[in-house]
Amino acid sequence: MNPNLKRLLMRNETVLILAIVIFSLVIGSKSPEFFTLANLFDILRSSFVQLLFALGVLIVIISGGIDVSFPIVGIFAGYTAVVIMQKFELDGESLLIPIVLAIVIGTLLGGVNAIAIAGFGIPTLIATLGTAGIFRGLMLTLIGSSFISDIPIALDQFSTADLVKFESAAGTLVRLHVLVIPITIITILISLILSRTLFGRSVYALGGGVEPTRRLGISVKGTQTKIYLLAGALSGLAGILYVSLQRKANPYDLAGSELDIIAAVVLGGASIMGGYGTVFGTVLGVLFINLIKNNLVLLGVSSSWQRAAVGALLVIGITLQAISESRRNKRRRALSESEVDSSE
């Protein structure tokens, strides 16, 4: 087999595309409605918020870190933005004000993570696990713990802002939310940032090790600070969009969503050890997780097994990465030994 073709077939993205196709065919055989345009648009809509969270998590994982605080950062930002809008009687017909508020709040909370990780050198998992508890406690104690159904009118109306809306021949209402445009733009921007900028190269370098990064003249603390500020901003935006799409603000929402997002990023090919990951793979991972969560019931699988399925996929993804890394290390050792023998 051609080496280039073999490498292409072994890429995570290729395997994930095949998995999505096979899973879709299985679901489609059980329910022909699966392949309708309406269902495709529904899957996209359910992926918007998850993709924003996943992009932030991707950047963190590439850098060799792990962030479990992003769901609480998101709902903290979204919920607090709504509370501020109501308390100070800000213009409820403005969509920009709550979005900017949420992004600013998310960035500030990301800054707290940055201080803990870059400033005090606390391991990323411990730091974000701790800040997640702090953020949730502060929100429920100081901001509020009650369900808010009367969100600002602009956020409420935005939940039904469709780019495409028509009735199919079968009488089904087909709707594509306008969010597909800004989400696509943000996804492309993150991809360009990671692949074309000095910051992006610094993120990948940091995933290869702190000391090698320092020897390259890259500021480790500066890079980590930017990473968690950006992740916080993306989480804040995801949080306010979640509030809008759900047409409610509930401070208890998004709890436990860490598993789905991290699984999507890892299944998309991001190395849990750091140093590798792609935006395209993450997009595929989010779509795959959504396909599984939303359609397992069509295969007769109880909804209570959905989290078990996602957890199993995460374990499989990490195991395959570990096996692949072990093989690479063996090849490197074999190559170095052969070079030593030839020099002798």
CATH code for the domain of 203: 1.10.3470
Domain that holds residue 323: 3-343
At 148 the pLDDT is 95
Give the whole-angstrom CA distance, residue 236 versus residue 74: 5
Please enumerate, as own/partner, the contacts of 31-34 that have beta carbons within 8 Å and a separation of 24 or more: 31/295, 31/298, 34/295, 34/298
At 3 the pLDDT is 61
At 169 the pLDDT is 78
The greatest distance separating any two alpha carbons of the chain, rounded to the nearest whole angstrom, comes to 80
User: Mean pLDDT, 10 residues at a time, over the chain (344 residues)?
Assistant: 58 85 86 83 93 98 97 98 94 94 98 98 97 97 94 95 87 90 98 97 95 94 98 98 97 92 92 93 94 75 75 83 71 58 56
CA atoms within 13 A on the CB side of 45: 21
The CA-based dihedral angle spanning residues 25, 26, 27, 32, taken in that order and rounded to the nearest 10 degrees:
60
Scanning 216-305, the segments in alpha helix (DSSP H) are 220-246, 258-267, 279-295
At 122 the pLDDT is 97
Helix, strand, coil shares of the chain, percent, nearest 5, are 75, 5, 20
Counted domains in the chain: 1
Q: Which helix (H) or strand (E) holds 177?
A: strand 173-177
